[in-house]
Amino acid sequence: MSVPVITVSQMREWESATWAAGQTEAEVIRRVGKRLARRVRKLSGANTAILILAGKGNNGGDARAMQEFLDERKIEILDVTSPAADLPKLQELLEKRFALIVDGLFGIGLNRPLDEDWQKFIAAVNGSKIPILGVDVPSGLNCETGEPMGAAIKATHTLTVGAPKAGMLAPTAWPFVGRLEVLETVGLVPCPLKSDLNWTLRDDFQDFPPRRTVAAHKGTFGHLGIVAGSLGFHGASVLASRGAQRAQPGLITLFTQEAVYHPVAAQLQAVMVSLWKPDTKLFDKASAILFGPGLAAPELAEEMKGVLRRLWRDFPHPMVVDASALDWLAASALPKNLVRVVTPHPGEAARMINSTAQKIQMNRTQAVREISQRYGNCWVVLKGHQTLVGRSEGEIFVNSSGNAHLAQGGSGDVLSGFIAGYLAQSGLEADAGLAIRYAVWRHGDAADGLQASGGSWVVEDLIKELGNAP
């Protein structure tokens, strides 16, 4: 199950409940050390050297506990009690070739600005250019505000215990937190806390997508209609269609502009390709619609706007709107049971609510609420680092997968197609939120798999990887 995003005081409450239940701090620290060691093995090669920076508190204990489980690594531990006195020792150690630094200097309880000596010490760690694994929180980061307390470790990865702390998800914290992962099974009692903001875990999708019945046929899995592609932007329609194919709906029909029909049709085999006509009747048979990828040719706006708004209001099945078409939606109420999804990046989100991308990024959760409310309580996929999925009310989910190499043209087209491909299937429409969340998570997970395999990859590789089981 997903875990709530919590405050520092809530984490303390959770720890107190654990100790009251008879669990010991020593055992939790040992389990955290074991889990940290597992991640260290993935981040470094066998027989490489690891530098552990251990402070006086429990974070230092967590970091030291790894040593028991890292026999195959060369471990150096620097116990840091006085940053001024220990800085020369650090500088001497940094002359060696470490594969990874483990930061266990400060934990989530830091509540005062770091003095000049600590700032110099942290600057030396950051200046080493060695990858850094943060234990629970990058040392020096305020877990309530997401701001550095004078200075903070710039971790490449942070493994936080139990659940993410709210400040770690703030955009100001991103350069320090790096890739955030959660150690959710370390001996704490089941989380007694609830939050509107929740962190997605791989186990959330243990039984999704559901197994197909033996007698199923293509009519069982719906018919997705895609309206996409225009002169100069025809590739988006191909990528969206191929992304949709990876969700395996029964049928897909792409409607595209006459000017790009031939290059688009030549690249697709199983996807049926038709000329776009505003009065097309195939939407009567479609079980879901994707509208928008590659419709950036300026002359299309007036013609498409009216059709889009009518479908958004009246089409009885799920509908996903992406890219240029987001600008054509009108604020309106919708019948309660309609499934509608928008997939903006921060710039598109800003235009949807007359804001700026900077303001969207400052409060991404509020942006999801406001967009959803304005456009009929639709589902919102606010793309970017830690993509959010949610609506105007209820839970919002933070996606935990993906990496910066998704920042290339076409990855969003693949995602919108992948989402729509699942929503076209009648058995999945009933839990639209889960289907959307899975598509977002799997899209990022596929990118993580490609990145882990090394080399430079492109969006076409992402489409292929989507078809591999996670």
| 349: in domain | yes
CATH number at residue 422: 3.40.1190.20
| 199: in domain | no
Q: Are residues 287 and 424 in the same domain?
A: yes
Q: Are residues 180 and 130 in the same domain?
A: yes
Q: Are residues 61 and 95 in the same domain?
A: yes
Q: Are residues 153 and 250 in the same domain?
A: no
> Which structural domain, as residue segments, surrounds residue 429?
218-466
| 208: in domain | no
Q: Is 218 helix (H, G, I), strand (E, B) or coil?
A: helix
Q: Is 223 helix (H, G, I), strand (E, B) or coil?
A: strand
Rounded distance between C-alpha atoms, residue 38 and residue 190, angstroms = 22
Domain boundary among 142, 158, 193: 193
| 209: in domain | no
CATH number at residue 161: 3.40.50.10260
Per-residue pLDDT of the chain (470 residues; tens, 9 = 90+): 799 999 999 999 999 999 999 999 999 999 999 999 999 999 998 889 999 999 998 999 999 999 999 988 899 999 999 999 999 999 999 998 899 999 999 999 888 999 999 999 999 999 999 999 999 999 999 999 999 999 999 999 999 999 999 999 999 999 999 999 999 889 999 999 999 999 999 999 998 998 888 888 888 899 999 999 999 999 999 999 999 999 999 999 999 999 999 999 999 999 999 999 888 777 788 999 999 999 998 888 888 999 999 999 999 999 999 999 999 999 988 888 899 999 999 999 999 999 999 999 999 999 999 999 999 999 999 999 999 999 999 999 999 999 999 999 999 999 999 999 999 998 777 799 999 999 999 999 999 999 999 889 999 999 999 988 77
Question: What integer pLDDT is reported at residue 1 of this predicted model?
Answer: 79
DSSP states of 5-51 as a string?
Answer: -B-HHHHHHHHHHHHHTT--HHHHHHHHHHHHHHHHHHHS-TT-EEE
The DSSP H or E segment spanning 435 is: helix 432-452
Number of separate domains in the chain: 2
Q: Are residues 89 and 222 in the same domain?
A: no
Question: Model's pTM, two decimal places?
Answer: 0.95
Q: Are residues 257 and 353 in the same domain?
A: yes
Three-state SS for 378-420 is CEEEECCCCCEEECCCCCEEECCCCCHHHCCCCHHHHHHHHHH
Q: Are residues 159 and 47 in the same domain?
A: yes
| 424: in domain | yes
The answer to whether the CB of 88 falls within 8 A of the CB of 94 is no
Q: Are residues 182 and 273 in the same domain?
A: no
Q: Are residues 91 and 21 in the same domain?
A: yes
Q: Are residues 25 and 141 in the same domain?
A: yes
Q: Are residues 178 and 269 in the same domain?
A: no
| 198: in domain | no
Q: Which of 144, 264, 283 is nearest to 225 (CA)?
A: 283
Q: Estimate the crossing angle of helix 432-452 against helix 411-423, to 10 degrees.
A: 140
Rounded distance between C-alpha atoms, residue 241 and residue 257, angstroms = 15
The answer to whether the CB of 288 falls within 8 A of the CB of 316 is no
Residue 162 is which amino acid? G
User: What burial letters (b/e) apply to 242-279, b meaning 16+ CB within 10 Å?
Assistant: bbbbbbbbbbbbbbbbeebbeebbebbeebbbeebeee
Question: What integer pLDDT is reported at residue 313 of this predicted model?
Answer: 94
| 210: in domain | no
Phi first, then psi: give them for residue 323, nearest 5 degrees: 60, -135
Question: What integer pLDDT is reported at residue 22 of this predicted model?
Answer: 96
| 57: in domain | yes
Question: What integer pLDDT is reported at residue 284 of this predicted model?
Answer: 82
Rounded distance between C-alpha atoms, residue 253 and residue 287, angstroms = 11
Question: What integer pLDDT is reported at residue 426 of this predicted model?
Answer: 82
Q: Are residues 124 and 8 in the same domain?
A: yes
Q: Is 133 helix (H, G, I), strand (E, B) or coil?
A: strand
Question: What integer pLDDT is reported at residue 303 of this predicted model?
Answer: 85
